[in-house]
Amino acid sequence: MNQPANSRPLVLILEDEALIALNVQDELQDAGYEVAGPFSACSAALEWLRTTTPDMAILDTTLKDGHCREIALELSRREVPFLIYSGYQEDQQHLSDFQHIAWIEKPVPSGTLVQACQQVLVGSL
């Protein structure tokens, strides 16, 4: 990543459980990330993506307005890395054509998400 040394990476959060979203946001912000969102619907995230490209994204699979597949496709098109943070194993089938997706099953120990983000950003996850 060609980031200026002092920049805070911008992470898009797509998550419709507000408490979880806010907790992820707090954790990331504490660890020095900028957060876009949290967005609770795919439509809102897509709208935001029209003008901005994040450094990476954390996506829940099933949102209020449907599956996150469209967002995943848009991010792939822009070569933005993302990881899936979801409790629904069966949702994996909707993303089966994406290769090497980092899949983190809810819930995880604190710190795991931040660590995963670091790995995604250096391209090792």
Residues of this chain that interact with another protein (CB under 8 A) are 16-23, 26-27, 38, 40, 87-88, 106-107, 110
Enumerate residues 6+ apart whose C-beta is below 8 A from 23. none
Alpha helices in 1-125 (DSSP H): 18-30, 42-49, 69-77, 112-121
Q: Which residue number, 16 or 34, has a Cβ lying nearer to another protein?
A: 16
How many CB atoms are closer than 10 A to CB 58? 27
CB of 113 to another protein, least distance (A): 11
Q: Which lies closer to another protein via its Cβ, residue 109 or residue 123?
A: 109
CB of 7 to another protein, least distance (A): 26
Specify whether the backbone of 111 is left (phi greater than 0), alpha (psi in -120 to 50) or beta: left
Nearer to another protein, 5 or 19 (CB): 19
